[in-house]
Chains A and B, each alone.
Chain A
């Protein structure tokens, strides 16, 4: 069987694929942002002194690193509504279910990334902040977070890229993301190559854009003056 390039290009710019990509990107982005938020507090709890919060974070990280993503998606989409009547309503969409499952799961991984990032900031930094009269929250905001961000960018970008691909798992709960759209096309035409090739191109482009974004972000956190030295000295 030959490669039908006309079909391939048609699929590539089809509304179905564009919408699928938009769903994948927005699901991955929202999940990752929520996961960073959850992960930050879990990391703080785990590093903190409160034994209850510490235990909670420990159990959370253990549990959600152990559950397969696919299983959690099925639990959240199929099993939870059986337990909770309120979730049987219209508002509980596959997108919401996937967002819930992926952000909860990823929160456990982000917790560990952020915990190691916080630990790698030198102890002297918090000490200096406190000596200047900053409260613990001010020390966290002004001193620790900017420094842990720099350390956390590469592994978090890794996770985000992984998340883009994780969204394809949500095809099992009938979310119309990118891979589901490709699957739809395949089952209607049996043209595997063209549809899968188009999907592949989408993933390549999305991940490439993310990598450019990552390298820009890393440059912003280089912490060297942007003005040329000669200019500054003469100033």
Chain B
């Protein structure tokens, strides 16, 4: 059974038709990469899966359970934030701009949701958080504030912050696009390790090398729909669609 199942999802911003019926699923342990031009709806798709915005129609299943949209896939009613907060458990998200909390140091950033959302006591939460920071190679930066960390370090703290809640699915929204080139590698390394450890991941990225090494499948996204979905070796060498070929000319 697939861990996440996106069915005929549509999204509008006012008159703008952002997602035009998106269908795909990810099995547990799989990694899928999404590529496509900016403004094509990739980030919106991730936000819908993270339940940060409501779907217009269509539905999203997580572990076979309906988490977004109406059961018959028709026009969905928006849910209350309280209900959504509960449903979001199990899905972790990492943002392009890190979005670390600037008033908390690294370990406090990681433990924040553990204590407030999961009710773990402070001592345990701190231990788990330090352990998680060690996992992303930041064991010596636990008391540093975001403003004292490089972009790559901040993004690794953000990954630790999501991971510490033990999600089943990790969403990455262009996690290295805001980084200086020399900092990209350290973040990708952490993500590759995560994939090796069996984490289910959906990654919006322009990093061709990463997608080739890690993804089971690459989805080409353009103008609100999936143009094609192929294993990376085929995607990057013999894509079927003109739009994919054109896009790859720009990226590679």
Nearest Cβ in chain A — how far from B138, in angstroms? 12
> Contact string, A106-143, partner B, CB cutoff 8 A, digits 1/0?
00000000000000001011011111111110100011
> Which among A82-90, A202-210, A223-231 touches the partner chain?
A223-231
Evaluate contact between B99 and A125: CB separation under 8 angstroms: yes
Q: Closest A-chain residue to B91, C-beta based?
A: A131
- B-facing mask of A139-151, CB < 8 A → 1, else 0? 0001100110010
A133 close to B117 (CB less than 8 A): yes
Q: Which of B104-162 contact A (CB under 8 A)?
A: 105, 112-113, 116-118, 140-141, 143-148, 158, 161-162
Query: Number of A interface residues, CB 8 Å?
Result: 28
Closest residue of chain B to A141 (Cβ to Cβ) is B116
| A135 with B81, Cβ < 8 A, contacts A142-B116, A224-B147, A225-B143 known | yes
Check if A233 is an interface residue, CB within 8 A of chain B.
Answer: yes
B246 at the interface (CB under 8 A from A): no
Interface centre among B93, B99, B118 (most CB of A within 10 A): B99
Measured in the bound complex, the distance between the Cα atoms of B161 and A223 in whole Å is 19
Interface: B236 (CB within 8 A)? no
Asked if A133 contacts B86 (CB within 8 A), the reply is: yes
Chain B proximity of A233: nearest CB distance (Å): 6
Residue of B nearest to A136 (CB): B81
A223 lies within 8 A of B86 (CB): no
Proximity string of chain B (160-180) to chain A, C-beta cutoff 8 Å, 1 when within and 0 when not: 011001000000000000000
For A123, give the chain B residue with the smallest CB separation. B99
Q: Does B251 contact A (CB under 8 A)?
A: no
Bound-state CA distance A235–B138 (Å) is 12
Complexed CA–CA distance, A143 and B117 (Å): 13
Q: Tell me, yes or no, whether A219 is within 8 Å of chain B by CB.
A: no
Assess whether B99 is in contact with A132, with CB atoms less than 8 Å apart. Answer: no
B88 touches A128 (CB 8 A): no
Whether A127 pairs with B147 at a CB distance below 8 angstroms is no
The interface residues of chain A lying within 8 Å CB-to-CB of B158 are: 128
Q: Is B95's CB under 8 angstroms from A128's CB?
A: yes
- Cβ proximity bits A211-235 to B, threshold 8 Å, 1 near / 0 not: 0000000000101110101001101
B112 near A142 with CB under 8 A, answer yes
Residues of B within 8 A of A136 (CB): 81-82, 85
How far does the alpha carbon of A147 sit from the alpha carbon of B146 in the complex, in Å? 13
Q: How far is the CB of A187 from chain B (nearest CB, A)?
A: 52
Residues of A10-47 at the interface with B, using a CB-CB cut-off of 8 Å, are none
Query: Is B97 an interface residue, CB under 8 A from the partner?
Result: yes
Bound state CA distance, A127 and B52, in angstroms? 7
B50 interface contact, C-beta 8 A = yes
Is the Cβ of A122 less than 8 Å from the Cβ of B116? Answer: no
A131 touching B82 in the complex, CB below 8 Å, given contacts A147-B103, A223-B102, A225-B143: no
- Residue contact B117 to A127, C-beta cutoff 8 Å: no
Q: A221 → chain B, closest Cβ, in Å? A: 8
Q: Which residues of the partner chain A approach B210 to less than 8 Å between Cβ atoms?
A: none
Q: Name the contact of B113 in the complex, choosing from A132, A221, A232, A233 (C-beta under 8 A).
A: A132
Instruction: Give the CA-CA distance A229 to B148 in the complex, in Å.
Output: 10
User: How far apart are the CA atoms of A208 and B95 in the complex, in Å?
Assistant: 44
- A-chain residues with CB within 8 Å of residue B147 when the two chains form the complex: 223-224
Residues of B within 8 A of A232 (CB): 140-141, 143-144
Sampled A-B contacts (16; CB under 8 Å): A124-B99, A127-B52, A128-B93, A131-B93, A132-B88, A133-B117, A135-B81, A135-B85, A147-B102, A223-B103, A223-B146, A227-B143, A232-B140, A232-B143, A233-B140, A235-B140
- A residues engaging B (CB < 8 A)? 122, 124-125, 127-136, 138, 142-143, 146-147, 150, 221, 223-225, 227, 229, 232-233, 235
Q: Which residues of B contact A (CB under 8 A)?
A: 50, 52, 81-82, 84-86, 88-89, 92-93, 95, 97, 99-103, 105, 112-113, 116-118, 140-141, 143-148, 158, 161-162, 165
